[in-house]
Every structure is written in C-alpha cells, then in structure tokens.
C-alpha cells in the first residue's frame, strides 16, 4: 500500500487546494457570476439592453439573445474544471466583442465605462483561469 506518488512518478489528479488552483477557482467564479447575470439580463431585454443592442449596435433582441446564450454557456463551462479552457475562450471572445463595441460605438462615459471595465475584468479573469487549466484542453483533444 502506497500513500502517494513515489519520486519520479506523475499523478493525473491536480491538487484542488493548491494556491494556483484556488486562483483558478476565484477567477472562474468571478467570470461565472458576471456572465450569468449579464446573460440573463440579455434575455430580460430591459431598457438598457434595448438601447445598447437596438439603438447603438443595430442588432435587436435576437442578437442580444444569442450573446446571452453564449455568455450563459461560458459562465457554466468555466466552472467545470475539465471545460474551463473552453468556457474561458468563449468568455474572452465575447468580451473582446464587448470591448470592441465600447471602443467603436458605445464609448466609456457614465454607465458604458462601468460595463467596459467589467468586460476587461472578465477577459483577464477568464485568461488566467484558462491558462491555469490549459492542460484540460489538451486532454480533450484526440490523441495522435
């Protein structure tokens, strides 16, 4: 009976309580909370969402719903360690679009500035979580 890996052996389990894994969990949690709330708001299609998607971006309710679906999917996937890199990449893609929308159309004044700041926070947190759990993505790829 052995108590753990012998010298030179590698284990397939990661230490979920290690400081680096705690950072991954915190970053994943931040991304999930923000994206799940934002995704639900897209479906509720309140006045602010309508103004952003119809008036400023020219997209409308269908476009907002599609973005909401992607945000919710990314928010859920990033919480599952095996799929964190996929959720993180989805989150980073959506946030690049959000940041680009602020640069090109929405600007950074008032409430728009707060939303742009949140997009930057989500992008950075998703990038950190994705980098820490990048091995999970490699394990999902087919073996050659």
pLDDT band at 89 (very low <50, low <70, confident <90, very high): very high
Q: What digits encode the pLDDT tens for the residues 7-20? A: 554 444 556 678 99
**Closest among 90, 88, 55 to 69, alpha carbons compared:** 90
41: containing domain:
19-137
Mean pLDDT score of the chain, rounded to an integer? 84
In a domain, 3, yes or no: no
* Banded pLDDT at 85 (limits 50, 70, 90): very high
- Which of the pair, 124 or 43, is modelled with greater confidence? 124
Distance (Å, whole) CA 19 – CA 41: 33
Q: Is residue 96 predicted with pLDDT exceeding 50?
A: yes
State the DSSP code for 17: T
The more confidently predicted of residues 44 and 4 is 44
Residues in Cβ contact with 83 at an 8 Å cutoff, skipping those fewer than 6 apart: 77, 136, 140
Count of structural domains, the chain: 1
Whether 1 is covered by a domain: the verdict is no
Nearest 5°: the CA angle 132, 22, 70 is 60
Residue 6 lies in a domain: no
pLDDT at 124: 97
Q: What does the alpha-carbon distance between residue 120 and residue 107 come to, in Å, rounded to a whole number? A: 14
Does 4 map to a domain? no
Token pair of 121 as six digits: 């926070």
For residue 30, pLDDT beyond 90? yes
Classify residue 11: in a domain, yes or no.
no
Q: What pLDDT band is residue 71 in, cutting at 50, 70 and 90?
A: very high
Instruction: Please check whether residue 54 lies inside any domain of the structure.
Output: yes
pLDDT at residue number 15: 64
pTM over 0.85: no
């Amino acid at each position: 009976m052995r108590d753990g890996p012998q010298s030179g052996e590698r284990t397939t389990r990661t230490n979920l309580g290690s400081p680096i894994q705690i950072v991954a969990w915190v970053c994943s949690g931040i991304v999930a909370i923000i994206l799940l709330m934002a995704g639900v708001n897209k479906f509720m299609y309140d006045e602010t969402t309508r103004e952003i998607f119809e008036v400023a971006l020219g997209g409308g309710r269908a476009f907002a719903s599609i973005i909401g679906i992607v945000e919710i999917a990314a928010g859920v996937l990033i919480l599952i360690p095996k799929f964190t890199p996929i959720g993180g990449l989805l989150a980073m893609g959506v946030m690049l679009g959000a940041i680009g929308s602020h640069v090109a159309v929405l600007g950074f004044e008032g409430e728009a500035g707060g939303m742009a700041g949140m997009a930057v926070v989500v992008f950075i947190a998703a990038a950190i979580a994705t980098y820490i759990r990048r091995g999970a993505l490699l394990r999902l790829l087919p073996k050659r």
